[in-house]
Chains A and B, each alone.
Chain A
Amino acid sequence: MGLILEVEGLHVELPLPAGQLQAVRNVRFEVSQGETLSLVGESGCGKSLTALALMDLLPPRAIRRAGKLVFEGRDLSGAAEETMAHLRGNRMAMIFQEPMTSLNPCYTIGNQLVEAYLQHRRASKREARERAVFLLEKVGITAAGSRLKQFPHQLSGGLRQRIMIAMGLMCGPSLIIADEPTTALDVTIQAQILALLADLQREFQMGLILITHDLGVVARVAHRLCVMYCGQVVETGTTKEVFARPLHPYTQGLLRCIPVPGRLEPGSELGSIPGLVPTPIGVLKGCTFRNRCPKSRPECVVENPHLREIGPNRALRCLDTLASVA
Chain B
Amino acid sequence: MPDLVLELINLTKTYQVSAGAFRGQRDLRAVNGISLTLEKGEVLGLVGESGCGKTTVAKLVLALENPTSGHIRLQGRPLAECDSKEIARQVQPVFQDPYASLNPRKSVGSIISLPLRALKVGNRASWNTKVSEIMEVVGLAPHLRHNYPNQLSGGQRQRVAVARALIMRPQLVLCDEPTSALDVSVQAQILNLLMRLRRELGLTYLFISHNLAVVEHLATRVAVMYLGRLVEEAPTRELFRNPRHPYTQALLGSVLTPEPGRGLPDTHLGIAYPNPIDPPSGCTFHPRCPKAAEPCKEQVPVPRREGGRLVECHFPEEL
A contact residues vs B (CB 8 Å cutoff): 42-43, 140, 156-159, 162, 186-192, 194-195, 198, 213-221, 239-240, 243-244, 253-261, 264, 266-267, 269-273, 276
Q: How far is the CA of A188 from the CA of B249 in the complex (A)?
A: 11
B23 beta carbon closer than 8 Å to chain A: no
Q: How far is the CA of A158 from the CA of B254 in the complex (A)?
A: 15
In the complex the two chains form, is A43's CB within 8 Å of B265's CB? no
In the complex the two chains form, is B192's CB within 8 Å of A272's CB? yes
Question: Which chain B residues (201-229) contact chain A, with CB distance < 8 Å?
Answer: 210-214, 216-218
Binding-face segment, B90-98, B169-177, B182-190 = B182-190
Shortest Cβ gap from B20 to chain A (Å): 11
In the complex the two chains form, is B49's CB within 8 Å of A188's CB? yes
Contacts of A261 in B (CB 8 A): 212-213, 216, 240, 255, 257
Contacts of A243 in B (CB 8 A): 258-260
* Contacts A192-B271, A219-B256, A219-B260 supplied; 12 other A-B pairs, CB < 8 Å: A140-B271, A187-B255, A188-B267, A192-B267, A194-B264, A195-B264, A213-B183, A214-B256, A219-B259, A220-B259, A266-B218, A273-B188
B262 beta carbon closer than 8 Å to chain A: yes
Could you list 8 A-B pairs, sorted by A, with CB under 8 Å?
A: A156-B272, A188-B269, A192-B269, A213-B183, A257-B185, A259-B216, A260-B213, A272-B192
Identify B264's interface contact among A220, A239, A266, CB under 8 A: A220
Contacts of B154 in A (CB 8 A): 43
In the complex the two chains form, is B267's CB within 8 Å of A259's CB? no
Contacts of B259 in A (CB 8 A): 219-220, 243
Identify B184's interface contact among A194, A215, A239, CB under 8 A: A215
A42 to chain B: closest residue by CB: B183
Q: How far is the CA of A270 from the CA of B183 in the complex (A)?
A: 14
Q: Chain B 1-27, CB within 8 Å of chain A: the 1/0 string?
A: 000000000000000000000000000
Q: Which 8 A-B pairs have the closest CB atoms?
A: A216-B256, A259-B217, A257-B188, A42-B183, A270-B188, A272-B188, A273-B185, A219-B258
Contacts of A218 in B (CB 8 A): 258
In the complex the two chains form, is B185's CB within 8 Å of A272's CB? yes
Q: How far is the CA of A178 from the CA of B207 in the complex (A)?
A: 31
B191 to chain A: closest residue by CB: A270
In the complex the two chains form, is A257's CB within 8 Å of B184's CB? yes
B284 beta carbon closer than 8 Å to chain A: no
Shortest Cβ gap from A181 to chain B (Å): 13
In the complex the two chains form, is B210's CB within 8 Å of A220's CB? no
In the complex the two chains form, is B262's CB within 8 Å of A42's CB? no
B50 beta carbon closer than 8 Å to chain A: yes
In the complex the two chains form, is B254's CB within 8 Å of A220's CB? no
In the complex the two chains form, is B255's CB within 8 Å of A267's CB? no
In the complex the two chains form, is A266's CB within 8 Å of B192's CB? no
A257 to chain B: closest residue by CB: B188
Identify A188's interface contact among B153, B187, B236, B251, CB under 8 A: B251
B263 beta carbon closer than 8 Å to chain A: yes
Contacts of B261 in A (CB 8 A): 240
Contacts of A273 in B (CB 8 A): 185, 188
In the complex the two chains form, is A191's CB within 8 Å of B258's CB? no
Shortest Cβ gap from B126 to chain A (Å): 32
Q: How far is the CA of A261 from the CA of B289 in the complex (A)?
A: 24
Shortest Cβ gap from A243 to chain B (Å): 5
In the complex the two chains form, is A220's CB within 8 Å of B183's CB? no
